[in-house]
Structure 1
Amino acid sequence: MADDAALRKSLICLAAIMVFLGLYIHSLKKTMATYLFGMFAIAGIVLPDWEFFDRPVSQWTSPLSVPQMLPHSPPTPTRFRFYPIRTIIYMMIYGYAFYKWWVFISST
């Protein structure tokens, strides 16, 4: 992973959310559900090989070709390209997961 700082910040934020939720709800089960949801969310957003997934969805099944670069040329930043289908897929998956987490957390 090229950017370890993003992973560290995400894990620190998740730990802070878990501490706050654990103190507010007093439920180890719900705190652990928050931990699992947070780890899956972090793993799905921060850890993937973005050079592979930063292509149109129709090309995800084909191998990634390595561009021919000069030995000391910096790679071009391609992390934040917008592809509507990928965004819709991510929103559906994370929206449903967030909904199920919220229903579990807000239940008495």
Structure 2
Amino acid sequence: MADDAGLRKCLVCLAAIMVFIGFYTYSVKKMMATYLFGMFAIAGIVLPDWEFFDRPVSQWTSPLSVPQMLPHSPPPPTRFRFYPIRTVIYAMIYGYSFYRWWKYISSA
């Protein structure tokens, strides 16, 4: 990851959420579940190699070709492309995970 500022912000927010959950539930187990859920969520959103995943889903199983660039030329700016299937997959995975986490946290 070239810019670590986004990762740092996510980790600070996760720490604040963990402290809140710890005080709200008085449960170390629920606080650790929040930590695990948060780390997996951060790892799935912030850390992936977006050059690899920024393609249609059907091409995810094929290797990524590396463009030939001059040694001192800056990389071309990449822009996040919207692919509906990828968005649906992420929404289903994160939605279900958030639902299970919330159900566990809110249980007595």
Deviating 4+ runs (over 6 angstroms): none
Matched, 1:100 2:84: no
Please state how far the C-alpha of 1:23 moved relative to its aligned partner: 1.1
Residue of structure 2 in register with 1:15 after alignment = 15
| Aligned equivalents of 1:19, 1:48: Cα separation in 2 | 27
For residues 1-108 of structure 1, what are the structure 2 equivalents within 5 Å? Answer: 1-108=1-108
| Aligned equivalents of 2:18, 2:77: Cα separation in 1 | 33
Letter aligned with residue 96 of structure 2: Y
Please state how far the C-alpha of 1:18 moved relative to its aligned partner: 0.5
Give the secondary structure class of the aligned counterpart of 2:10: helix
| Aligned equivalents of 2:48, 2:68: Cα separation in 1 | 23
Paired-residue identity, %: 84
Letter aligned with residue 58 of structure 1: S
Letter aligned with residue 16 of structure 2: A
Do the aligned residues in 2 keep the contact of 1:51 with 1:79 (CA within 8 Å)? Answer: no
Q: Deviations over 1:66-107 (max 9, x none)?
A: 112233332233242111111110000000000000100111
| Aligned equivalents of 1:59, 1:39: Cα separation in 2 | 27
Letter aligned with residue 94 of structure 1: Y
Q: Deviations over 1:26-79 (max 9, x none)?
A: 111111110000000001111111110110001111110111223333223324
Distance 1:79 1:7, change over 3 A: farther
Aligned length: 108
TM-score, length basis structure 2: 0.93
Letter aligned with residue 9 of structure 2: K
